[in-house]
Each structure stands twice: as structure tokens, then as C-alpha cells.
Amino acid sequence: MTECSGQSAQTQQLLLDTAEELFARHGFAAVSNRQICEAAGQGNNYAIGYHFGSRDGLLTALLKVRNEPIERARRKMVDELGEDAGPRDWLRCLVRPQLEFMGTTPGHTPYGVFCMQMAADPTTNGLLYDQAAQWPALLDVIEGTYRAIPDLPAKAVEVRTLIMRNVLITTFADFERVRNQDDPPDTESWRTFVDAMVDGLFGLWTAPAT
């Protein structure tokens, strides 16, 4: 996304918000760039290309905008960890920032379901995971978790990493769906959800390997 100000910045944000909502509701294959532009009230059907260069550029910009506050919160948590941080501490750094972001955002949010749709679509899941690898605090948390968990065979680590990735994506989406059913949404429900998710992931990583 190019640097801009004023009306151009507002248009970019409107396109991002509209695309996120449509992709979360209908999936990626069912939503065209033209539909996004029309739903955003843009008379120019090439607005996405103008502002973001391409559809992938739009998705990259959307992930960046949404993940910046999550990354800041995660970095703060990581910086506050002591040298004796255990698996639960690292897993909390993994789970809490995104749940807090979705759980405290006023009104309904589509971001959790948007990410799940992106992960499920073979044309977009590579971009989702590539972008996740760009966030230093997230990488620090993953490395810290690996250091803190009990020794496991390499195959067990590989499989449990896949399980955790899928659990995070789908559970965040399910949390969001339930929260969005309330009007207005509950802005405190995320707190107990964090504890339950950390407990579940702790069990995943501390279970014996056969």
C-alpha cells in the first residue's frame, strides 16, 4: 500500500474494511475486485489496482493493518517475561494479543473469520503464512515456546505445530462468531477464553509422545 493522506487514505481504509467483511462472509472465490469496489461505493472498478497494486497487495495491506496492534501487544508481553518463563507464559503471549484485539474492538469484527477463510483457500493461505513470518514478536514467541516445552521427537513437534496452527485459526474464528452474536458484543468474554485456550495448548505440548 502506498503512502497517502486525506481522501486517498480514507478510500484505502474503506476498501480494506469492505474487502475484509466480504471475504469473511463469502470466501475468496466468490468475491471479485469489482464487487469490493462497488460495495465500497467506488465508481472506479479498478480502485484496488490503483491503491494496492493487486489483489495480493490488498490482502497484504489488510493483514499489516490488523496485525500491527496485535504485534505491539505481543511485543510488550514478551518484553515483560522473566528468564524463567515456562510454556504457559509463552502460549499466553501467543493467544492473548489476538483475542484481546478481537474481544475489545467495539461492534462486530470479521477478522478471525477472514483469517480462517484465507487459511482454507489454497490461493491465499501461502500469503497468510508468509506474512505471519514477518512479525518479529510472533517469531520470538514461537521460538520461546519450543525452548520451554519438554523434549519431543522431531515428528511430534512437526505434527503438533500443525495442530496448533489450525487450532489457533479455527478457534479464533469460532470465538469471534460467538461474540458477534451479541448486540452489542461482550468486551470481557475474551479474558476467560484466553485461559481456556492456554490450558488446551499446554496439554497439547506436554502430552507424552508414543
- Over residues 173-185, the pLDDT tens digits come to 999 999 999 889 9
Give the position of cell 490503483: 50
Give mean pLDDT, residues 18-46.
Answer: 94
Residue 47 pLDDT:
92
pLDDT above 60 (res 3) = no
- Amino acid identity for residue 193 in this structure: F
Asked whether 85 and 203 are in contact (CB, 8 A), the reply is no
pLDDT above 90 (res 207) = yes
Query: Where is average pLDDT lowest: 34-48, 82-96, 169-183?
Result: 34-48
Asked whether 201 and 99 are in contact (CB, 8 A), the reply is no
Residue 5 pLDDT:
57
**Which DSSP string corresponds to 73-135?**
HHHHHHHT--TT--HHHHHHHHHHHHHHHHHHSSS---HHHHHHHHHH-TTTHHHHHHHHTT-
Give mean pLDDT, residues 9-26.
Answer: 96
Assign 132 to helix, strand or coil: helix
pLDDT digits over 103-143, tens only?
999 889 999 999 999 999 999 999 999 999 999 999 999 99
Expressed in percent and rounded to 5, the helix, strand and coil fractions of the chain are: 70, 0, 30
Residue 6 pLDDT:
72
Residue 2 confidence class, pLDDT cut points 50, 70, 90: very low
Residue 203 pLDDT:
98
pLDDT digits over 41-80, tens only?
988 878 999 999 999 999 999 999 999 999 999 999 999 9
Residue 8 pLDDT:
86
Entry pTM: 0.91
Tell me if the domain spanning 6-206 has CATH number 1.25.40.10.
no
pLDDT above 70 (res 192) = yes
Distance CA 40, CA 17 (A): 9
Residue 45 pLDDT:
79
- Amino acid identity for residue 137 in this structure: A
How many beta carbons lie within 10 A of that of residue 164, not counting itself?
18
pLDDT above 90 (res 38) = yes
